[in-house]
A = this chain, B = another copy of it.
Amino acid sequence: MQGAILVLSGPSGAGKSTIINHASDEIGEYYFSISTTTRKPREGERDGVEYYFVTHEEFEEGIKAGEFLEYATVHGNYYGTSLKPVKEALEEGKLVIFDIDVQGHRLVRAKMGDYVTSAFITPPTLSELKRRLYARATDDSSIIERRIANAKEEIKAVVEFDFVIINDDIEKASKEFATIANAARLKQSHQELENFVKIWDN
């Protein structure tokens, strides 16, 4: 497979989507991995756009069939990444971008480490995260508090990532993201390198 994987993690409110959109002209074609979930769609969410929405039974059949690259349960709902579209995109030589949590990062790295570059995206401080989550006012305060508690846990995992983008300036953060995405494309898998060595010397 010729493609590359870029895993993005970081708290809700870090600005991941904004950064990707901002940098999209600079990073060329990519496939944004869509997660599968058993949670109910929220208003405005469309199947195959924000998530693939499936039933609990469908998800568990997928687990048994080994269809998931990674999955986890969060508050009683399954969230996971199907392997098939990722493999297809890699075979087409695409950069596959994941927006998953630090647990998902560990699993993807364990299974496909050869292809993985990862970046943790974070607001500069906890108080700035709080400010952003309350300012956008899309969630009630119990959800926001849960997100803040999650963020405090997740930030401890930054050392596991190849890069950390501190989003205190959207222009700077987007530029850093584009540099990282373009470098991620240049990462070769061991398999490719071994083939190269074989061919090189004859």
| A residues neighboring B (CB under 8 Å) | 122, 124-126, 152, 155-156, 158-159, 162-166, 176, 179-180, 182-183, 186-188, 190, 193-194, 196-197, 199-202
CB atoms of A187 and B200 under 8 A apart: no
The CB with the most chain B CB atoms within 10 A, among A182, A194, A202, is that of: A182
Q: Tell me, rounded to whole Å, the shortest Cβ–Cβ distance linking A168 to chain B.
A: 12
User: Does B126 contact A196, Cβ atoms closer than 8 Å?
Assistant: no
Main secondary structure of the interface of A (DSSP, over half): helix
Query: Shortest CB–CB separation between residue A127 and chain B, in angstroms?
Result: 9
User: Please, which residues of chain B bring their CB within 8 A of the CB of A182?
Assistant: 179, 183
Q: Could you say which of B125, B188, B190, B202 contacts A200, with CB atoms under 8 Å apart?
A: B125
| In the complex, residue of chain B having the shortest beta-carbon distance to the beta carbon of A189 | B159
Interface pair B158/A201, CB less than 8 Å apart: no
Q: What are the 9 tightest A-B residue pairs by CB atom distance, in nearest-first order? A: A183-B183, A179-B182, A159-B193, A158-B193, A179-B183, A126-B201, A163-B186, A152-B201, A155-B200
